[in-house]
A = this chain, B = another copy of it.
Amino acid sequence: MNQTTAVILARRPDRTFVADDLSLGTIDLPELAAGQALVRNQYMSLDPSTRGRMDPGEKQYTTNFTIGGPLDGSAVGVVVESSSPKLPVGATVRHRLGWREYAVVDDAAATLCDISVAPATAWLSSLGQTGFTAYAGLLPVGRLQPGQTVLVSGAGGAVGSMAGQFARLLGAGRVIGSAGGAEKCAWLRDDCGFDVVINYRDGDFAAELPGAAPDGIDLFFDNVGGWQFAAALQNMAINGRVSMCGAISNFGTQEQPSTACLIEAVLRRITIQGFIVRDYEDLRPEFEQRVIGWLASGELVDRATIVEGIANAGAGLAGLLSGANVGKALVRLSE
C-alpha cells in the first residue's frame, strides 16, 4: 500500500461551497517510520470549520488547504500495519487525517478509542471534538450555573444538539434551541429534551424568542451568528454570557445585521467570548468520564447523519453547510 484515494481541493469556493470545489485524487502514502501506523479509515467527521479552511485568509489557529492538495480532518479507523507499540494492529484510533481512505499516522497524533464503551462513530461525535466543543463552551467559557436559561443556535447540528443536551444534564433551568425545519425541531423537543425549540426557517425568530425566554437568556451558545445573534442580544439577561462557537451564517451569501446590535452588550453588561476547543485540553478526562456515563445511562442521544463513501464527502459537506444533517454529520469510508 503506497497510495490512497483522497479528497482534493480543486478550487477555492466562490462564497457558497459546492461539491465541485472538491475532486477525488490519489496521494502517496509514506513508508511506515518508527512510531507510525497505517490506518484504514472507517468514518470521518464533516465540520463547518472545513469550509473556512478553503479560503485564503489567515485563520489564526489552523492551516488553510492548498489548491491541488488533500483536505484533512478528524477520522477514526482500524490499524492495519504498525511500527508503534502504542498503536497495535486491530486497534481503533482517532486522528486528524480524514478525507482519505488510508492514512499513515504518528502515534503522538492519534488516540486509542475504547469501542467497548461507545461505538466508533461516538468517538467523532459526543466523545469527540464535537462534544468537547459543546462542553468547553458551556463550562469554562460559558460558566453555566444550575437553573440558568440557555439558548443554543443551530441546535439541530452536531455541536448544538450536544450543547443543549449537556446543558440539560448539567442542570440548566431552561434549554431553548433554534433549528431549521420541523423534523429537527421535533427531534430536539421529543428525543433530546429541549424545553422550547424555535424553527427559524418557518417563523420569525426575533418575535418568538421573547416568549421562549421570558426571564432572559443567561447563556447563549452561538453556532450561527447573524440575525439570530442580533435577536439573542436583545433577549439576554443582565450579565449574560455568549459563548461564540462559530457563525455558520457567515459562510453563505445571506445579508448580515450591523454591529449596532452590540450596544446591547453594554446596556446588559454581556460578555461575548469566542473560543477554540483546543485551548481546554486539560478538561478532556472529566469530559470523557461524564459523557461515557451519560451514554451508558441512555440520558444522552448521539445521532448521526451518515453519508456513504469518500466520493460523496463533498456533497455531504455541502449538505452540512446548508443544514441538511440532523445531529453529527459523518462519512463512512469503510466497514
Contacts and interface: CB of A to CB of B under 8 A. Distances in A.
A294 to B, nearest CB: 26
Contact of A274 (B60, B269, B276, B279): B269
A197 B48 CA distance: 39
B268 A271 contact: no
Main secondary structure of the interface of A (DSSP, over half): mixed
A262 B59 contact: no
Nearest to A257: B259
A275 interface: yes
Question: Copy number in this complex?
Answer: 2
Nearest to A246: B266
A265 B226 CA distance: 14
B262 A229 contact: yes
Given A272-B271, A272-B273, A244 B266 contact: yes
Interface in A243-271: 244-247, 250, 255-271
A61 B256 CA distance: 28
A256 B258 contact: yes
Contacts of A230: 259
A238 interface: yes
Contact of A265 (B59, B260, B263, B272): B272
A61 B267 CA distance: 7
Contact of A60 (B244, B262, B267, B275): B267
A104 B235 CA distance: 37
Nearest to A258: B256
Contact of A266 (B264, B270, B274): B274
Contacts of A59: 267
Contacts of A279: 269
Nearest to A255: B258
Nearest to A242: B272
A234 to B, nearest CB: 9
Contacts of A265: 244, 272-274
A269 to B, nearest CB: 6
Interface of A: 59-61, 225-226, 229-230, 238, 244-247, 250, 255-276, 279
27 contacts: A60-B238, A61-B238, A225-B260, A225-B262, A226-B260, A229-B259, A244-B262, A246-B263, A247-B259, A247-B260, A247-B262, A247-B263, A250-B263, A256-B259, A256-B260, A257-B259, A258-B258, A259-B261, A262-B274, A265-B272, A265-B273, A266-B275, A266-B276, A267-B276, A268-B274, A269-B274, A270-B274
Given A245-B266, A262-B272, A269-B276, 7 more contacts: A60-B268, A244-B265, A259-B259, A265-B273, A267-B274, A269-B273, A269-B275
